[in-house]
Chain A
Amino acid sequence: MPRVGALALQGDFREHLAMIAELGAEGVEVRTPEELDGIDCLIIPGGESTAIARLAVRYEMMEPLRNRILDGMPVLGTCAGMIFLGTATTGKPQPQLGVLDVAVARNAFGRQQESFEANLDVKGFDRPMRAVFIRAPWIESVGPGVDVLATVFDPVSGREFPVFVRAGNVLAISFHPELTNDARVHELLLSLVAPGIDEER
């Protein structure tokens, strides 16, 4: 099984690693460029995107992360992780990896009292996911090559906004499967790791 890193600068990385362990893969916490070397795929957890981004800049993680992802390493960003992967935000500019061609709206659903959970239909999944949205972002616009796998309807604007997208090796979701028992997104991430990669190591 592949070795899965979770970016452990801040956020709920332990919950992601617990889910990875249940799937039988090895999980490791990643805080430094050196710790990035030994992993086959990466999870960027939920947390506060400004805090994660500031630490990533300060500890010189931006370029090593960008290089590994552009080199094809599968990555899953959840919530703050989605913002971090994107190319733009609709609010105050903040450091982003720019490896996923989307513009993200932070706190798009509102403040904590507007946070919610709901069943979400996802393209390719045979039954809905229980999706937990916590001060969650949504995607305002996607560039070419970005597949939208799930959306949420916003009654205020009358528009649908993507909350689950994929572009090649990059997966990004607005919600938190690691707070539920549904491991299908994590299984999808593991399925993107090239077969036999751990035998090579």
Chain B
Amino acid sequence: MNTPAAERGTDTVKRGLAEMLKGGVIMDVVNVEQAKIAEAAGAVAVMALERVPADIRAVGGVARMADPSIVEGIVAAVEIPVMAKSRIGHFVEAQILASLGVDYIDESEVLSPVDEFHIDKWSYDVPFVCGAKDLGEALRRIGEGAAMIRTKGEPGTGDVVEAVRHMRTMTSQIRALTVLGSDEIMSAAKDLAAPYALVKEVASTGKLPVVNFAAGGIATPADAALMMQLGCDGIFVGSGIFKSGDPDARAKAIVEATTFYKDAAKIAKVSRNLGEAMVGLNIDTLSPQELMQHRGL
């Protein structure tokens, strides 16, 4: 018999859920119907929000946490984990989302930041995922308590180029740490503007201490497999599914390409006849003020 002295919200428990999501696809959804389509297509989690990033761009103005009724409806409708986004630094939005029972909070640059400081994520039992463009950002977020990292990419564009850039940057910065002598770690920590202990840990293990997903601009099965081959642990798809011609077919195809990411024949097979991909925005046409990736460094 066990009467466990149960410990909640430990690092292992918070990082552990992200471990279970690996090799899977997390899909942005804005209502119960989309959440059910995502679950049936094999999503490992859904991100509940009021508008997908492409629509946030189109509408403009201040982007905030979703209406709690949207989040509650989705939490009630599916058995897979539900994530939701808070604004960077908006710890009350995070408290509200935790009270609604969400399984992960994305402190996200897709919404409008409210503070130059990020949320103190250690103080929550619910785990957080944060975006990063490079290793320094990733380790700062982990230092603040993030239990999962994702590339920022450039959300709502359907252009995967920035996610690729961010993943390559992180991988090459990690590789560079692994060859340093112990007397060089402090200087590397200073250059990365990252906590010494985490830099030391990455230098010795050669990997981030938490799971790292790809996000920002993934629109096709080939995009998903590309990010997996670049070493990501899994995939977030924002606007790419429900802004496309046939969301159900595209969702399934991206899930299958993520599992069989090294099998070009299978990826070719699932990529057939998916209808229109999201139209997309070329990164080069965006002005610097329109880029979301520079929010919350």
User: Could you tell me if B126 and A112 are in contact, using CB atoms closer than 8 angstroms?
Assistant: yes
Q: How far is the CA of A92 from the CA of B78 in the complex (A)?
A: 10
User: Which residues of chain B are near A75, meaning CB under 8 Å?
Assistant: none
User: Could you tell me the distance in whole angstroms from the C-beta of B16 to the nearest C-beta in chain A?
Assistant: 5
User: Could you tell me if B80 and A10 are in contact, using CB atoms closer than 8 angstroms?
Assistant: no
User: Could you tell me if A50 and B39 are in contact, using CB atoms closer than 8 angstroms?
Assistant: yes
User: Could you tell me if B21 and A48 are in contact, using CB atoms closer than 8 angstroms?
Assistant: yes
User: Which residues of chain B are near A135, meaning CB under 8 Å?
Assistant: 17, 20, 81, 103
User: Could you tell me if B44 and A51 are in contact, using CB atoms closer than 8 angstroms?
Assistant: yes
Q: How far is the CA of A152 from the CA of B16 in the complex (A)?
A: 20
**Docked complex: B94-123 residues within 8 A CB-CB of A:** 98, 101-104
User: Could you tell me the distance in whole angstroms from the C-beta of A165 to the nearest C-beta in chain B?
Assistant: 14
Interface string of A86-127 (1 = CB under 8 A from B): 000001100000000000001100011111111111000000
Our pick among A55, A80, A132, A160 for the contact of B1 (Cβ within 8 Å) is A160
User: Which residues of chain A are near B104, meaning CB under 8 Å?
Assistant: 112
User: Could you tell me if B42 and A54 are in contact, using CB atoms closer than 8 angstroms?
Assistant: yes
User: Could you tell me if A132 and B12 are in contact, using CB atoms closer than 8 angstroms?
Assistant: yes
Q: How far is the CA of A135 from the CA of B20 in the complex (A)?
A: 10
Chain B: interface residue total (CB-CB under 8 A): 44
User: Which residues of chain B are near A31, meaning CB under 8 Å?
Assistant: 259-260
User: Could you tell me if B22 and A121 are in contact, using CB atoms closer than 8 angstroms?
Assistant: no
Q: Does any Cβ of B come within 8 Å of A150's Cβ?
A: yes
- Do A118 and B42 form a contact, CB below 8 Å, given A9-B23, A12-B22, A113-B125? no
Chain B residue nearest to A79 (CB atoms) is B20
- Do A92 and B24 form a contact, CB below 8 Å, given A55-B259, A116-B6? no
Q: Give the interface residue-count category, chain A.
A: 35 or more
User: Which residues of chain B are near A13, meaning CB under 8 Å?
Assistant: 23
User: Could you tell me if B4 and A118 are in contact, using CB atoms closer than 8 angstroms?
Assistant: yes
Our pick among A10, A91, A176 for the contact of B44 (Cβ within 8 Å) is A10
User: Which residues of chain A are near B79, meaning CB under 8 Å?
Assistant: 50, 91-92, 106-107
Q: How far is the CA of A50 from the CA of B43 in the complex (A)?
A: 8
Q: Does any Cβ of A come within 8 Å of B5's Cβ?
A: yes
Interface string of A1-17 (1 = CB under 8 A from B): 00000001111111100
User: Could you tell me if B44 and A48 are in contact, using CB atoms closer than 8 angstroms?
Assistant: yes
**Docked complex: A116-175 residues within 8 A CB-CB of B:** 116-121, 131-135, 150-153, 160
User: Could you tell me the distance in whole angstroms from the C-beta of B90 to the nearest C-beta in chain A?
Assistant: 19
Q: Does any Cβ of B come within 8 Å of A46's Cβ?
A: yes
Q: How far is the CA of A112 from the CA of B16 in the complex (A)?
A: 10
* Further contacts, 19 of them, CB under 8 A, given A54-B255, A118-B6, A131-B4: A9-B259, A11-B22, A14-B22, A48-B24, A51-B44, A55-B259, A112-B127, A113-B8, A113-B103, A116-B13, A117-B6, A119-B2, A119-B5, A121-B1, A132-B13, A134-B17, A134-B20, A151-B1, A153-B4
